[in-house]
Amino acid sequence: MSFEIRVNGEAFDAEPRPGQCLRTYLRERGWFGVKKGCDAGDCGACTVQVDGEPVHSCLYPAVRAEGRSVRTVEGLARNGELHPMQRQFLDAQGFQCGFCTAGFLMTASALNAEQLTDLPRALKGNLCRCTGYRAIEDAVRGVKHTEEPAAGQAVGRSLGAPAGPQVVTGTARYTFDIEVEGLLQMKLLRSPHPHARIVSIDTAAALRVPGVHLVLTHHDAPERLYSSARHEHPTEDPDDTRVLDDVVRFVGQRVAAVVADSEQAAEEGCRRIVVQYEELPFVIDPELAMAPGAPVIHPKGPESRIARPQNNVVGEVHGEIGSVEQGFAEADIVYEETFRTQRVQHASLETHGAVAYFEESEEDGRERIVVRSSTQVPFLTRRALCALYDLPPERLRVVAGRVGGGFGGKQEMLVEDVVVLAALRLKRPVKLEFTRAEQFFGATTRHPFTIGLKAGATADGTLTALRLRVVANTGAYGNHGPAVMFHSVGESMAVYRAPHKQVDAYSVYTNCVPAGAFRGYGLGQVTFAVESAMDELARRLGIDPLVFRERNIIGPGDRMVSPGGEEEDLHIASYGLDQCLQVVRNAIAEDRSAADAPEGWLVGQGTAMSMIATGPPGGHFADATVKLLEDGSYDIAVGTAEFGNGTTTVHKQITAGALGTTVDRIAIRQSDTDVVRHDTGAFASAGTVVAGKAVTKAANALAEQIVSFAAEHLRVSRSLCRLTADSVECEGRSVSLKELFEAARGQEVALTADGHWGGTPRSVAFNAQWFRLAVDPDTGEIRILRSVHAADAGKVMNPLQCRGQVEGGVAQALGATLFEQVLVDEGGRVTTAAFRRYRLPAYADVPRTEVHFTETSDAIGPLGAKSMSESPFNPVAPAFANALRDATGVRFTEVPLLRDRVWQAIEQHRADARAGAVADARADVREVEAGTGGRGQCPAGTATADSAAR
């Protein structure tokens, strides 16, 4: 009897390999809508329907599908018509990066009426890292949000993503959603030691494994040092990394790379490599790493831009404004505390990966290498690869397909370097795709911070002094370390007016998994400390925390000053912080959510705010080109990568507004170093503001060109002509855009325009978060009763999309606040290398956050817009901790706020209160017995200490 599986109505008779899962079986046959997110049944990105029932295809043996009907997202549409659920996801913009969308669609489209009444249970098998789930809920329930504005009216409207139809049908192409003939697979052998020197490495047995083509070790790697971090100016990061090194500095560092016909052969090759190590002393605590006598992790010095290698300090900043000692002396109250934040994984559902292959250049016919990568920075990656392998830029092309989430984690070069090395050696296409476990121990995390804070204020609530001592654990390599450390103490301190400020900050090497860029870039960690301290000062002074903040925040005309150095190019180009705080005040005034708290639970509310700059101080640049096409439509070429940040939509909206057309008449090319000009990358909140400004300049210039050419063509005055959706109208006469294109071509005139933006000046955005929550004092369980977020995004280009960015930022921050934590044991090993051991927020964990935008228009950003992708993350943890303080009386100084940690703190607080009451009662008894009276004024002999305490 022959084997047969029917997939979307098509029969397949190829038998699966022994042990093959349904996911790989389907993808090998071109059904790329089935995604790989975890390989453990934790995320649901691979969900398909088998005989109508949703299953996680990464766990479902392909052989079990014999004789069954399998449906993937590509098969949801019928007879050219979208499935109703696909249409609903489009109408609600129920996705951002879209990597999880196919899985959600396959689950949601199979729900019955009863299941729709309990979505937390129905959707528990699917995770989303981007949206915060509100958009997904709206999609499942059929709520329509997207608009279709008239020509020239796109800016400020809730348009859906241009790639939406491809996302919901599974035809959007992510990094590995392509077929490459002759593709070889790479796997990495990783270090079992936190610090060791490779004495010898024997690859002979690995090379004898059938199907293995190549084994790479440090003997094959360039000697050149570089940084995996990518910035416009490479000198911002230390050069401390080799492609493959003879010294390993953390558990999980790559030791060798095996390239084979299959992943199985490559993995077997890794197992057969014999490595002899000389184990070296290691250190995982940053304070100990700075101490005299600690193991030196990177002996290189200033030539590699390492500040103090002998103390493992990769970067540091020290500064003082005024005199903090004088400020503390002038204060009526001084608060001093140490705060700690943990490692957090980006957890983008598409893991790091790249494919390198060869093609002939269209310009000269010569062979060149193409790197298709899940990266936020294609141009900077090309520049780094060219420098590493001495390649001219025209011999290397970097392409980012649609990227399945980033959050700063893909502002790194973690796979492309070794993939290109193998491809150059073999002259064959090579692929490397991280597993979910590798994403935890072989990629990067958020920096763990320890923040020592001291703040003083007068009795009327005026800040007098603010001092920070910050230690950031950058792990084994310094990628982003100095920049994150510097940024963390910038806007977090500059947002408050205090005459006396001091900062001492250190970015420190340890033998742990490296940290890197993460949403907020250090501000989230330090803002947790600063905003907690502001709340504590206000409470101890008996002042409303909102009033305290309003008394001390910078105003629209103030200079932003931080002890780490004033940033002359940073401006308050629009000011909405006062409006953000007013949103919170209004929410508090009209809130009735406390009534929803279970009986006996403690209820509290708390606020925090933050400020963030757009782009790094070293500069962030973008180039764009907009041109008229033959059919009267337009083409945008811009380098920014799309990973759910929504820049594609915004760039089309800007262009449509400038050219008086609709977005469906605009094509866009992006993230390909071969077809667009330079772009620093999609990070630092710059996609809308920097690249958008370049697009604005190009689109406006093209509009002027078209109108001027039309006036010349019709021989009329330029002032009499007006550009419309498909023509230029000139005092009763009209010429179509198609005619103009032909006329221009006949005169060898190109109707195309370029735009450039970046560097200076830079603007700032503001955010405020407010929570009301309830806490069960007997278990530590917390329920969020209400969540309100105010955002100063300037002119909101796309309200639906921007709201999604805020909701996603709040949801991601709640995960980091409540339970997300990358744990490292005493030997430097990551122990949470799977989603089921590293808990991500699921649908049931995330409340619906009310999002409010201020009425501002930025003087710097495109059409008045400001950044709003990173900043919603930053005030969430302190707002939550402040609400918890209000409810319980306990100041929590460490995140995550795990349930058992909260319960233990409440119990300790209760015990302390009881002990204090007993002590006071005993003192009263002694005073009564002595005849001097007491707090209770009890007659002598009528009370005991215990009874008084009760």
Residue-wise pLDDT for 450-486, tens only, equals: 999 999 999 999 999 999 999 999 999 999 999 999 9
Residue-wise pLDDT for 842-871, tens only, equals: 999 999 999 999 999 999 999 999 999 899
Residue with tokens 């489009």: 90
* Residue whose C-alpha is closest to residue 477's, from 304, 272, 255: 304
Residue-wise pLDDT for 423-444, tens only, equals: 999 999 999 999 999 999 999 9
Greater confidence (687 vs 320) lies with: 320
* Residue whose C-alpha is closest to residue 400's, from 649, 636, 672: 672
- 3-class DSSP state for residue 638? strand
pLDDT tops 60 at residue 942 = no
Q: Once rounded to an integer, what is the mean pLDDT over residues 53-57?
A: 98
The predicted pLDDT at position 937 comes to 42
Nearest 5°: phi and psi at 644? Answer: 100, 0
Q: How confident is the model at residue 944 (pLDDT cuts 50, 70, 90)?
A: very low
Cα 134 from chain centroid (whole Å) = 18
Helix, strand, coil % over all residues of the chain, rounded to 5: 35, 25, 45
> Distance (Å, rounded) from C-alpha 37 to C-alpha 627?
38
Least confident window among 14-23, 297-306, 663-672, 843-852:
297-306
Greater confidence (933 vs 263) lies with: 263
* Residue whose C-alpha is closest to residue 758's, from 824, 812, 666, 681: 681
In sequence order, what DSSP letters do the residues of 766-831 get, joined into one string?
EEEEEEEEEE-TTT--EEEEEEEEEEE-BS-S-HHHHHHHHHHHHHHHHHHHHT----B-TTS-BS
* Residue whose C-alpha is closest to residue 872's, from 760, 766, 725: 766
The predicted pLDDT at position 932 comes to 61
Look up residue 103 and give its amino acid.
G
> Distance (Å, rounded) from C-alpha 100 to C-alpha 95?
8
Token readout for 413 is 């070069």
> Distance (Å, rounded) from C-alpha 243 to C-alpha 256?
10
Token readout for 602 is 């403690």
Cα 120 from chain centroid (whole Å) = 24
Token readout for 659 is 């050219």
Find all residues with CB under 8 Å of 582, minimum gap 6, and list them: none
The predicted pLDDT at position 834 comes to 97
Beta bridge partners of 338: 452
pLDDT tops 80 at residue 599 = yes
Residue with tokens 């399998």: 70
Note the pTM of the prediction, 2 decimals: 0.95
The predicted pLDDT at position 566 comes to 58
What is the phi-psi region of residue 565: left when phi exceeds 0, alpha when psi lies from -120 to 50, beta otherwise?
Answer: left
Q: Once rounded to an integer, what is the mean pLDDT over residues 188-207?
A: 98
Q: What is the DSSP letter of 303?
A: G
* Residue whose C-alpha is closest to residue 827's, from 37, 281, 395, 186: 281
- Provide, rounded to the nearest whole percent, the portion of the chain with pLDDT above 70: 98
Helix (H) or strand (E) holding 725: none
Helix (H) or strand (E) holding 900: helix 899-929
Token readout for 700 is 């406006």
The predicted pLDDT at position 945 comes to 34
* Residue whose C-alpha is closest to residue 463's, from 576, 578, 334: 334
Look up residue 332 and give its amino acid.
D
**Distance set, CA 282 to CA 321, 348, 443, 469 (Å):** 37, 30, 20, 24
Nearest 5°: phi and psi at 454? Answer: -140, 130
Helices 692-714, 737-746: inter-axial angle, 10-degree rounding: 80
Helix (H) or strand (E) holding 505: strand 500-509
Give the pairing of strands 184-190 and 430-433: parallel
pLDDT tops 60 at residue 940 = no
- Cα dihedral value 87, 90, 91, 93, nearest 10: 150
Look up residue 520 and give its amino acid.
G
**Distance set, CA 617 to CA 103, 255, 278, 611, 694 (Å):** 40, 35, 42, 15, 18
Kindly state the greatest CA–CA separation across the chain.
Answer: 112
Token readout for 222 is 């360039």
Residue-wise pLDDT for 86-135, tens only, equals: 999 999 999 999 999 999 999 999 999 999 999 999 999 999 999 999 99
Q: How confident is the model at residue 938 (pLDDT cuts 50, 70, 90)?
A: very low
Beta bridge partners of 766: 611, 792
Helices 481-488, 523-541: inter-axial angle, 10-degree rounding: 20
* Residue whose C-alpha is closest to residue 141's, from 100, 78, 85: 85
Number of neighbours of residue 790 by Cβ within 10 angstroms: 29
The predicted pLDDT at position 363 comes to 78
Q: Mean pLDDT for the chain?
A: 95
The predicted pLDDT at position 685 comes to 82
Token readout for 280 is 């070296």
HSE-up of 857 (CA within 13 Å, CB side)?
A: 4
- Provide, rounded to the nearest whole percent, the portion of the chain with pLDDT above 90: 90
The predicted pLDDT at position 919 comes to 82
Find all residues with CB under 8 Å of 149, minimum gap 6, and list them: 157, 159, 662
> Distance (Å, rounded) from C-alpha 381 to C-alpha 231?
10
Cβ burial 453-489 (10 Å sphere, 16+ → b, else e): bbbbbeeebbbbbbbbbbbbbbbbbbbbbbbbbbbbb
Q: How confident is the model at residue 949 (pLDDT cuts 50, 70, 90)?
A: very low
HSE-up of 497 (CA within 13 Å, CB side)?
A: 14
